[in-house]
Structure 1
């Protein structure tokens, strides 16, 4: 069956320069959506946009390149302000940008453990700042690309930067749990999705082999489609709605994470 047109829809995909993010941008644009292609630098974002035009035959007017280094919250803030100014109505935000936690404990210039900031705090800040565009008309939604590893995680409330005890896998999993919990925040219609284990830069965290990035992206794109009815705050494992880790939907955890994240992003923005 041919996919329905997404013409007239505007979608921001963070981390769209490679892997699942690039494939998500490609599939959305192929269906007629206007895609805001985010990259860490302006050069990377433009290169990804040029590749979409050259290799996927995407019409240039459907693509807009945006840049922000998520290790710098000030750049995230500038990104959000530019998007709201240039695209006052946004149909979907895909929170996809991510990184594996490094072997050694690393703190950003903002004072946060780097994986927690890039994988969660930057998206928390971006989503909040884009709320006016996402809610300017009914139907706006947020799709956060999470991970099944959130089930192995716990949030270290008294030491979210894991300065006292650092493990790269635990740090990565904590960020994914936080992103999953964040989908249960009721301010903007949102879901989180585990796109499956895919052949991306994050594959070594999971296995030796995985599905293609295009296969993973298809599960993300499905949730961007207004024809797909979603349950606000739900967690999807590929194309199935399943229960996340029990802590991910606890009202107390949602409230506590919102308070923590607000404090961590506010101290440097």
Structure 2
């Protein structure tokens, strides 16, 4: 008992120090988004919700995909009630279930019919997978589809509008956990789809893999789409409900840890918001010669690089942001991943 109490005391001290020394105050950079349309996958909770609140308060038209219509209506009412009186922003909730390719296509079709321009596509939705294989109605492992395949499909369907919108950007919410991910060709190909219970990578492994895929795909887009900028971000340690699919005790423990050591979602949204709205950043002008940028925990354009390098033990990138997993710049791996996704979603393109 004494040992347990001592460890608990040490943990509390470390958590307090961490919050005070590392989780420094954050600051948003207000931008007038009048006339801008921002489409979000993952905007009804956590950092997505707080990012949507900022976008709308800065006069943007915000379109959010929501799996639950009832929750979407509640969130929409909440967002609209908190807008400053002078804001001209608006919020439009549409049905979107990333575990269904048909739902993704319906969402994209509705967006294309309603909006002539898309200035930002924020691919923020994500989940921690369960410790066993759960298949979607499309026959893919759930995390693989929700965190990557459906993002690929949605982006592909909206690219014509993005290409025709001057200065359009795509922002992918990845994670520092992507450094622990892998692209296993035998597991994630168009035939296996991470769905074979004998070989599937589940739970945290699938989460890390799909977050790596987000960065790889972002870099592929930045290399192949000259008229659209693509950037991947890690929001830092943020208190959210990301662990809701874990076993009850694990989820409860993770929530407690996140509350003790992490920023609130309102602060955690700063990287996504800044990546989406930073005016005329160098990476949006193509200064990195087709290599996509990865921004970690507010490290925008090499600001606060020293602190981030200390915190995450990763190398600053001279072109802006941090250096992601080395595989993300491998053109062959980029092409392989995109080809598998294209084959899997082919009938919905």
Q: TM-score range by the shorter chain?
A: over 0.9
C-alpha deviation, 1:97, in angstroms? 0.8
CA pair 171-46 structure 1, distance change in 2 beyond 3 A:
same
C-alpha deviation, 1:162, in angstroms? 5.5
Q: Write the mapping of 1:43-192 to structure 2, written as runs, cut at 5 A.
A: 43-57=70-84, 62-160=90-188, 161=194, 163=196, 164-165=198-199, 166-185=201-220, 186-187=224-225, 188-192=228-232
Q: Distance in 1 between matches of 2:170 and 2:271?
A: 14
Structure 2: unaligned runs, 5 residues or longer? 1-27, 189-193, 244-253, 287-291, 300-320
Residue 65 of structure 2 corresponds to residue 38 of structure 1 = yes
Q: Distance in 1 between matches of 2:155 and 2:255?
A: 26
C-alpha deviation, 1:7, in angstroms? 1.2
Tell me if the contact between 1:150 and 1:177 (Cα under 8 Å) persists in the aligned partners. yes
Tell me if the contact between 1:223 and 1:230 (Cα under 8 Å) persists in the aligned partners. no
C-alpha deviation, 1:36, in angstroms? 0.6
**C-alpha deviations, 1:202-243, integer Å up to 9, x for none?**
263995431111111111111111505152611110222001
Tell me if the contact between 2:80 and 2:90 (Cα under 8 Å) persists in the aligned partners. no
Tell me if the contact between 1:197 and 1:206 (Cα under 8 Å) persists in the aligned partners. no
SS of the equivalent of 1:183 reads helix
Tell me if the contact between 1:162 and 1:171 (Cα under 8 Å) persists in the aligned partners. no
Tell me if the contact between 2:34 and 2:88 (Cα under 8 Å) persists in the aligned partners. no
Q: TM-score, normalised by structure 2?
A: 0.73
CA pair 206-197 structure 1, distance change in 2 beyond 3 A:
farther
SS of the equivalent of 2:186 reads coil
CA pair 5-60 structure 1, distance change in 2 beyond 3 A:
closer
SS of the equivalent of 1:94 reads strand
Structure 1: unaligned runs, 5 residues or longer? none
SS of the equivalent of 1:35 reads strand
SS of the equivalent of 1:38 reads strand
Q: TM-score, normalised by structure 1?
A: 0.93
C-alpha deviation, 1:43, in angstroms? 2.2
1:202 to 224, 242, 262: 242
Higher helix share: 2
Q: Distance in 2 between matches of 1:120 and 1:110?
A: 14
Q: What is the root-mean-square deviation of aligned Cα atoms in Å? A: 2.1
Residue 281 of structure 2 corresponds to residue 229 of structure 1 = yes
Between 183-192 and 249-258, the greater mean CA deviation after superposition: 183-192
2:44 to 17, 22, 30: 17
What is the count of residue pairs matched by the alignment?
A: 269
Q: Distance in 2 between matches of 1:205 and 1:125?
A: 31
C-alpha deviation, 1:45, in angstroms? 1.8
Residue 276 of structure 2 corresponds to residue 249 of structure 1 = no
Q: Distance in 2 between matches of 1:109 and 1:167?
A: 18
Between 45-54 and 25-34, the greater mean CA deviation after superposition: 45-54
Q: Distance in 1 between matches of 2:235 and 2:255?
A: 14
SS of the equivalent of 2:179 reads helix
User: After TM superposition, what 4+ stretches of structure 1 lie above 6 angstroms from structure 2?
Assistant: none
Tell me if the contact between 2:59 and 2:89 (Cα under 8 Å) persists in the aligned partners. no
CA pair 137-44 structure 1, distance change in 2 beyond 3 A:
same
SS of the equivalent of 1:17 reads coil
Q: Distance in 1 between matches of 2:119 and 2:215?
A: 20
